[in-house]
Amino acid sequence: MTSIPHPDIDPGKIIAVHLNYRSRAEQRGRTPALPSYFIKPSTSVSRTGTPLERPLGTELLAFEGEVALIIGRTTRRVSPEEGWAAVSGITAANDFGLYDLRVPDKGSNLRSKGGDGFTPLGPHVIPAAEVDPARLRVRTWVNGTLAQEDTTGELLFPFGQLIADLSQLITLEKGDIILTGTPAGSSVVVPGDTVEVEVDAPHSPGAPRTGRLVTPITEGTVPFGAFGAGPQVDDTQRAEAWGSAEAAGLAADEPFLTAERIARINSVGTATLSAQLRKRGLNNVSIDGLTPTRPTERLVGRARTLRYIANREDLFREHGGGYNAQKRAFDSLTPGDVLVIEARGDRTTGTLGDILALRARVRGAVGLITDGGVRDLALVAAMDIPTYHGGGHPAVLGRRHVPWEVDTTITCGGAAVQPGDIIVGDADGLLVIPEHLVDELVADSIIQEDEETFIAEQVAAGHGVDGLYPMNASWREAYTTWKETRG
């Protein structure tokens, strides 16, 4: 191991990646298609053992343990395959952030991430030539308790890709630092806490390690001046800083589809809901032409969307491989979701198969809908997750489709679907219901089905339907009496 004296770590610039670990993306509920970045000033660098002051009047100082890449030579316009060769060494980093200043920063991260001492680095450098960049490990401890642990095998964007992307427009110079993202587990620390970060390569010869980068947290004594934007904190920032609403001590928002609301939706048929939608001028809200794998099961869930575009070879090479939109969609599903896939009605290839269906079920999704084909259809049909599809097909996705984007407005089976719409399905078919209409729609559907129960009884007793269906004034009076007798 090489010790870190100045000027071995004396960066001209520090470039940090926003989201780059699958675990962090899942925790945040969003997975980027491509990397994005921000700049930290070189004055934010500190060394192991240097105390970090939490500014007076703030509450949300959060740690982020990271792998830091040290650029070893001038680098411009390299390919992803060439990117790693530009790295001379790696070290541990802590990308501290002050969430109290995120709103005033308006996305720049300049003050929230760039304060003096907000980028501890060290204490040792591991030569890049000694390690596999895909088999590094980063760990963070708070007061001796492990808070973060992940490996670079779980990166969304490998190191070489980051360097290639940045070097398209920015000349990377010897000594520059790239902070490569943090895994799940980042949270808030307070004065009196001590944060430690270590990067190691347990599978490389000699298992090299950086040693622990130690940062004690202290309380600031100087308030912010009135001449600049001061701290602004709300529950959204608290939940983001702590990692979740629960960790921040906030009451978690109750999901819209509560057990009670689902039970009320399930008390009425899709045909009745369709009639009530029509009364509100919504005629084009059925997803048509699909076959359910479990026709006797009712489906109620919240729409998540995935869009495929028609295959074009160059676009598939760019968007079809790696952690593409299809994989991101399935990995980001949460309990109660229904994934709705736009495949343009093209049934001549698969749009999902048994592995992805299993992933959806494990993530807690309650249904899958695609207007394209399904591979491994017998296996998918055997799973306890209702899947509506355009038919079975053995071909892979790339025969006809490019996975393009997640959680945008799509068209599936002739119906427009937006993320957050409520999907209801049974043997009659599938409906797309805007969330804000659900409660009144169900209430009116319950009344309609009650009336239809009365009408059916009268028809069964031999009465004709003229004046009964729909009810005229005389039959309406009889219905009111019937309801009263039933309590």
State how far Cα 307 lies from the chain centre.
16
CA proximity to 263, closest of 440, 441, 442:
442
> What token pair was written down for 208?
């090299």
176 annotated as ligand-binding: no
Sequence letter at residue 131? V
355 annotated as ligand-binding: yes
HSE-CB at 469 with a 13 A cutoff on CA atoms is: 14
Give the start-end residues of each E strand in 414-460. 415-417, 422-426, 429-433
354 annotated as ligand-binding: yes
Q: Distance between CA 326 and CA 407 in Å, rounded?
A: 11
353 annotated as ligand-binding: yes
Provide the pairing of β-strand 194-200 with 213-219: antiparallel
CA proximity to 83, closest of 169, 177, 160:
160
Q: Which residues of 18-42 are buried (b: 16+ CB within 10 A; e: fewer)?
A: ebbbbebbbbbeebbeebeebebbb
135 annotated as ligand-binding: no
376 annotated as ligand-binding: yes
Are 19 and 32 within 8 A, CB to CB? yes
How many other CB atoms are found less than 10 A from the CB of residue 381?
19
What is the phi-psi region of residue 134: left when phi exceeds 0, alpha when psi lies from -120 to 50, beta otherwise?
A: alpha
CA proximity to 61, closest of 69, 51, 71, 49:
51
The annotated binding site for Mg(2+) is made up of 376
Residues belonging to the binding site are 353-356, 375-376
Residue numbering of the annotated binding site for substrate: 353-356, 375
